[in-house]
Amino acid sequence: MVLLKCPVCGGDVQVDDNALPGEVIEHECGALLEVYMKDGKLALRVAEQIGEDWGE
Protein backbone atom coordinates (compact mmCIF):
# COMPACT_ATOMS: atom_id res chain seq x y z
CA MET A 1 0.00 0.00 0.00
CA VAL A 2 1.00 3.58 -0.61
CA LEU A 3 -0.04 6.35 1.72
CA LEU A 4 -1.17 9.47 -0.09
CA LYS A 5 -2.88 12.65 0.99
CA CYS A 6 -6.45 13.53 0.25
CA PRO A 7 -6.42 16.86 -1.62
CA VAL A 8 -9.82 17.69 -0.17
CA CYS A 9 -9.50 17.06 3.57
CA GLY A 10 -5.75 16.54 3.87
CA GLY A 11 -6.24 13.15 5.48
CA ASP A 12 -4.36 9.98 4.68
CA VAL A 13 -5.55 7.79 1.85
CA GLN A 14 -4.33 4.23 1.41
CA VAL A 15 -3.85 3.32 -2.23
CA ASP A 16 -2.96 -0.10 -3.52
CA ASP A 17 0.50 -0.37 -5.07
CA ASN A 18 -1.16 -1.84 -8.11
CA ALA A 19 -3.61 1.00 -8.52
CA LEU A 20 -3.77 2.26 -12.08
CA PRO A 21 -4.01 5.84 -13.26
CA GLY A 22 -7.65 6.64 -13.80
CA GLU A 23 -8.80 4.53 -10.88
CA VAL A 24 -11.26 6.35 -8.65
CA ILE A 25 -11.26 5.94 -4.89
CA GLU A 26 -13.87 7.21 -2.50
CA HIS A 27 -12.30 8.71 0.58
CA GLU A 28 -13.88 8.62 4.01
CA CYS A 29 -14.61 12.34 3.74
CA GLY A 30 -16.85 11.62 0.78
CA ALA A 31 -14.52 12.96 -1.89
CA LEU A 32 -14.01 11.00 -5.09
CA LEU A 33 -10.29 10.85 -5.78
CA GLU A 34 -8.67 9.85 -9.04
CA VAL A 35 -5.30 8.14 -9.11
CA TYR A 36 -2.81 9.54 -11.58
CA MET A 37 0.89 9.48 -12.21
CA LYS A 38 2.98 12.42 -11.11
CA ASP A 39 6.73 12.31 -11.63
CA GLY A 40 6.52 8.54 -11.93
CA LYS A 41 4.67 8.11 -8.66
CA LEU A 42 1.04 7.67 -7.75
CA ALA A 43 -0.79 10.80 -6.73
CA LEU A 44 -4.37 11.81 -6.11
CA ARG A 45 -6.61 14.52 -7.46
CA VAL A 46 -10.27 15.23 -7.20
CA ALA A 47 -12.20 13.20 -9.75
CA GLU A 48 -14.55 15.69 -11.27
CA GLN A 49 -13.76 15.48 -14.95
CA ILE A 50 -13.69 11.75 -15.49
CA GLY A 51 -13.30 10.77 -19.10
CA GLU A 52 -12.23 14.20 -20.23
CA ASP A 53 -8.70 14.72 -19.01
CA TRP A 54 -6.66 11.63 -18.45
CA GLY A 55 -3.41 13.45 -17.86
CA GLU A 56 -0.17 11.56 -18.41
- In the complex, the residues that contact Zn ion under the rule CB under 5 A are 6, 8-9, 11, 27, 29, 31
CB 27 within 8 A of CB 13: yes
Least Å from the CB of residue 32 to Zn ion: 10
Least Å from the CB of residue 4 to Zn ion: 10
First-to-final CA distance of the chain: 22
Residue 9 or 56 with smaller CB distance to Zn ion: 9
Q: CA distances (Å), 45 to each of 15, 41, in order?
A: 13, 13
Residue 35 or 40 with smaller CB distance to Zn ion: 35
